[in-house]
Amino acid sequence: MASSIRPAKLGHDPWASLRISNFRRYLIARFSIILASQIQYVVVAQILYEWTHDPLVLGLSGLCEAIPAIVCALPAGHLIDRGSAKKFLLTSYLGAMLATLLILWAVTYQNGVALFLYLPMGLIGIIRAFLSPANFSVQTSIVPVELYFNCSTWDSGLWHIAAVSGPALGGILYSTIGAEKTFILVLGLICLACLTMALVMPPPKVKSAAPENASLWRNLIEGFNFVKARQLMIGAMSLDMFAVLFGGAVALLPIFASEILHAGAQGLGYLRAAPALGATVMGLSLAFLPPIKKAGRALLLTVLGFGFATIGFALSTNFWIAFAFLVLTGMFDNISIIVRGTIVKTMTPVHMRARISAVNSIFIGSSNEIGAFESGFTAKLMGTIPAVIFGGCMTVLVVLIASIKAKKLRQLDFSKADWANT
């Protein structure tokens, strides 16, 4: 299979993928839904903390989202590979509207009962299981393979711009107009995403190369087996997964903002936006710079930097120093996102796009929420600051292990024409 993959041609035109009208529409829809979700996340986290003042409650909210996302990921990838990715995206947006309405109802009529916020978080987890592979399938179908590095850069950059503005906007809106009106604005953004995605016109669906009589179980795990057999893919995914799992300081930001840095809800919004600000700066810089060549070495060094920046944040007692360390975590993280995204997009066969993206979402996407639970649990056991220091130290340890075990990942070089056949 790998021998048939075309190597990515890493061009130097920073606007190349943006010249494709379908990709521009796709980015607008993706920006809108991410902005909506980021506003919603920061407001829900602040409400939960105000209701309970318990770090474990914050961690459990992430677990409520992660478990459905993991359980539904492989079936979602299988269904999307057999159907229309665009239709699944639009259906997921409608599901996101329903989840926001449930959160609005809980905040308005069930004040103080965390369970009624956990239920829509579980629905969001199911939606995410479909969103990730559907996004991957649509994006890779409307952009040619030689532009995958370029489109990954812009996709990551726009994602992080939304992630910068969303939390900051969420904190400001919550402190000025209140939760109910904020969630109404979130609904409007989701509607905009639906309308824009409806205008995206992917090419006709490619018929699956899988045998017609293949069992459901074989189809479900085919993506996992494909990833497992390729050290570049499994190495990049595993490295990011463990780094995010242990470096999940974001889940504890309400505690840092309120009790350690004394910044309140608006400060929480700025802290939540800081990693995305760093990622945006890095993403836009990478879009205009020549593509990374020694990508494996860059990946390992940036995840190492992510771990050290997490430790620096935990030790900070000044708001702006803490903010600066969070910006650094975002800058380091975005390099790893772009490198991993290029690897996965280039090495993935057309008929397995959704299933491999589903595997990727299990490794990467859900580790954010499981990492939130890990942070909340360790904070409950050892305190907030020691928990974040512990996570940063574990991230550094993961990098050291990966640099020894994953030789092909360490030697990855995008300037080599046959790197995708490794």
Q: Where do the domains of the chain lie?
A: 12-202+220-414
Crossing angle, helix 295-315 and helix 231-246, to 10 degrees? 10
As a whole number of angstroms, the distance between CA 401 and CA 365 comes to 22
As a whole number of angstroms, the distance between CA 348 and CA 352 comes to 7
pLDDT at position 8 is 40
pLDDT at position 312 is 93
Tokens of 139: 């994006």
Residue found under tokens 């903390």: 49
Q: Does residue 68 contact residue 125 with C-beta atoms inside 8 Å?
A: yes
For each successive 10 residues of the chain (422 residues), what is the average pLDDT?
Answer: 39 78 93 92 85 75 81 86 89 95 90 83 91 89 83 80 80 88 94 94 66 61 79 79 71 83 81 82 77 80 90 91 92 84 81 81 68 74 86 87 80 69 60
pLDDT at position 152 is 80
pLDDT at position 369 is 64
pLDDT at position 158 is 82
pLDDT at position 5 is 38
As a whole number of angstroms, the distance between CA 221 and CA 137 comes to 18
Closest CA to 149 of 292, 6, 317, 309: 292
As a whole number of angstroms, the distance between CA 238 and CA 400 comes to 13
List of residues 6+ apart from 209 with CB closer than 8 A: 349, 351
Q: What is the CATH number of domain 12-202+220-414?
A: 1.20.1250.20
Sign of CA dihedral 364, 225, 127, 137: positive
Closest CA to 368 of 58, 103, 134: 58
Pure H helices in 83-114:
85-109
DSSP state of 15: T
Q: Does residue 232 contact residue 360 with C-beta atoms inside 8 Å?
A: no
Rg (CA), the chain: 20
As a whole number of angstroms, the distance between CA 73 and CA 67 comes to 10
Four-point Cα dihedral 366, 370, 376, 379, nearest 10: -120
C-alpha of 136 from chain center: 12
Residue found under tokens 């009208």: 21
pLDDT at position 46 is 84
Closest CA to 92 of 200, 349, 100: 100
List of residues 6+ apart from 82 with CB closer than 8 A: 208
pLDDT at position 124 is 92
Crossing angle, helix 216-228 and helix 55-82, to 10 degrees? 110
The pTM for the full model equals: 0.69
Sign of CA dihedral 214, 218, 221, 224: negative
As a whole number of angstroms, the distance between CA 422 and CA 224 comes to 18
